[in-house]
Amino acid sequence: MKTYYNPEDLKKFSKIGNFQKKLADKFFDYYGEVFAEGELSAREKSLIALAVAHAIQCPYCIDAYTSDSLEKGWTEGQMMEAVHVAGAIRGGASLVHGVQMMNKVNDLTM
Amino acid sequence: MKSLLAQKHKFSDSKAQIEFLEENRGFPLFADSLKSCGIFPLKPAGIDIFQMNIGKMCNQVCKHCHVDAGPDRKEIMTRETMEICLSVIRNNPEIQTVDLTGGAPEMNPEFFWFVEEVSKLNRKIIVRCNLTIILANKKYHILPEFFKEHKVEVVSSLPFYNAQRTDSQRGEGVFEKSIRAIQMLNEVGYGKENSGLMLNLVYNPAGAFLPAAQAILEGQFKQQLSRQFGIVFNHLFTITNMPISRFLEYLIQTENYEDYMDKLISAFNPAAATGVMCRNTLSIGWDGQIYDCDFNQMLELNVSGASKHIRDFDKQSLLTREIVLNQHCFGCTAGSGSSCGGATT
């Protein structure tokens, strides 16, 4: 069955360089640097990436950072809490626009 | 959960496992990976560790077990074979460590006698104790004191510091019993500073993923086990699951086999390949057969050369042998490496 997302495609990510090498190289260098040990540990960054993957709903990133989080020693509970953080921010981002709606209602009504 | 043997599963025959591992799926050959870093053929560096699998019988049936151990397994090393092993250990002072594994090695009726005999030879003794055996029967309640008396280093699997992941791999209720057993070991001094009694725990992933960094995970285990249960231990060894036996069956059933092999192969680390345990270890099967490691033992891949049984032990032949390799060996060379003593780099 053909689908837009194929799990096998994740393994081909580096092949984006076949069409535009210079930019791909710059991106992957940057990506590697971002996830290296820094003021945040590589372990902490993995859990942040897992949360962000859910916020942007990227199935490739969810697969990749679920594996990576397990391999960095995070528990199922910790991983789900991180997903809830993403959910709370996404939910909050919608709800906070309720204030804009209220402002507009106030503008339009007596 | 039943052993593969009890299920009459095709993988209870090691030849079927080897055939499966060798099927062409486009994976590079392990031997070629060693060639690419100049360490083929792989040769031993010495015989420091004499690991004996003294029986496949076990009180647990763990999902990932590479031995396919369980209560139904009757393969047990005899006293006669142990006596030959004792003679080899006695006559080869370079053997520094005698490492006893199983199954649950304590279930071998000659276990207590054998440990007493080895301790007279002044070698380091390791017992790979599954913890729950200590509580399984009254006759095993003395194990912590017995280990202490013979200065045995205890190495015990605890796949995680919570029940969910431990029990999912080792069986319902195993976590709770393991915690109680560790507390009993702590009570006689194991794992405590300056006691000289070593208690090392083993983490292996409860699924198709690689272990976390050993030092980081050790810190987490120490913090969590101390906080939740007042437990102390010395070191945590992280071990990668080998794609053989029950874990191989699990990988195939969950459609994780190809991705897992990809992961092991992508993570091939030449430094880990140089430090693989088969270079300084011999593995003796319950029937006295000699292997390069416990994994080769379970695949019935005997050592090369003439010295294939402990009664024919020939140090020169063993030191000059070529180590037998197959695709499962990628498990020992992935990432930080993996051995019975944890990460190798």
pLDDT band at B318 (very low <50, low <70, confident <90, very high): very high
Confidence at residue B31, expressed as pLDDT on a 0 to 100 scale: 97
Q: Which residues of A touch B (CB under 8 A)?
A: 11, 43, 67, 70-73, 75-76
Residues 6+ apart with CB under 8 A from B343: B211, B213, B214, B237, B238, B335, B336, B337
From A100's Cα to the closest Cα of chain B, the distance in A is 45
The mean pLDDT of B28-42, rounded to a whole number, is 96
Q: Are B220 and B162 in contact (CB under 8 A)?
A: no
Q: Which residues of A16-35 are buried (b: 16+ CB within 10 A; e: fewer)?
A: eeeeeeeebeeeeeeeeeee
Q: Which residues of chain B have a CB within 8 Å of the CB of A72?
A: 212-213, 216
Q: Does residue B345 form part of some domain?
A: no
Q: Are B225 and B233 in contact (CB under 8 A)?
A: yes
Q: Which residues of chain A have a CB within 8 Å of the CB of B211?
A: 71
Confidence at residue A3, expressed as pLDDT on a 0 to 100 scale: 87
Tell me how many domains chain B contains: 1
Q: Which residues of B207-231 are buried (b: 16+ CB within 10 A; e: fewer)?
A: bbbbbbbbebbbebbbeebeeeeeb
The mean pLDDT of B298-313, rounded to a whole number, is 97
The mean pLDDT of A69-78, rounded to a whole number, is 96
Q: Which residues of chain A have a CB within 8 Å of the CB of B220?
A: 73
Q: Which residues of chain B have a CB within 8 Å of the CB of A44?
A: none
Confidence at residue B240, expressed as pLDDT on a 0 to 100 scale: 97
Percent with pLDDT over 70 in chain B: 100
Smallest Cα–Cα separation from B296: which of B2, B5, B21, B4? B21
Q: Please check the confidence at residue B125 and state whether its pLDDT lies above 80.
A: yes
pLDDT band at B43 (very low <50, low <70, confident <90, very high): very high
Q: What is the pLDDT of residues B77-114, one digit of tens each?
A: 999 999 999 999 999 999 999 999 999 999 999 999 99
Q: Are residues A70 and B213, on separate chains, in Cβ contact within 8 Å? A: no
Q: Closest chain A residue to B163 measured between Cα atoms?
A: A75
How long is chain A? 110
> Tokens at residue B217, please?
């995970």
> Tokens at residue B336, please?
């930080």
The CATH number for B177's domain is: 3.20.20
Q: Does residue B123 form part of some domain?
A: yes
The mean pLDDT of B183-212, rounded to a whole number, is 96
Q: Does residue B344 form part of some domain?
A: no
Residue B170, domain extent: 10-333
The mean pLDDT of A89-106, rounded to a whole number, is 97
Q: Please check the confidence at residue A1 and state whether its pLDDT lies above 80.
A: no
Q: Does residue B132 form part of some domain?
A: yes
Q: Does residue B275 form part of some domain?
A: yes
Average of per-residue pLDDT values in chain A: 96
Q: Does residue B221 form part of some domain?
A: yes
Confidence at residue B273, expressed as pLDDT on a 0 to 100 scale: 95
Q: Which of B162, B207, B211 sits opposite A75 (nearest CB)?
A: B162
CATH number assigned to the domain with residue range A42-110, chosen from the 4 options 2.30.130.60, 3.40.50.970, 3.30.300.180, 1.20.1290.10 = 1.20.1290.10
Q: Are B69 and B3 in contact (CB under 8 A)?
A: yes
Indicate the domain borders of chain A. Answer: 9-38, 42-110
Confidence at residue B1, expressed as pLDDT on a 0 to 100 scale: 85
From A96's Cα to the closest Cα of chain B, the distance in A is 37
Sign of CA dihedral B153, B154, B157, B158: negative
- Tokens 């915690």, residue located: B179
Percent with pLDDT over 90 in chain A: 95
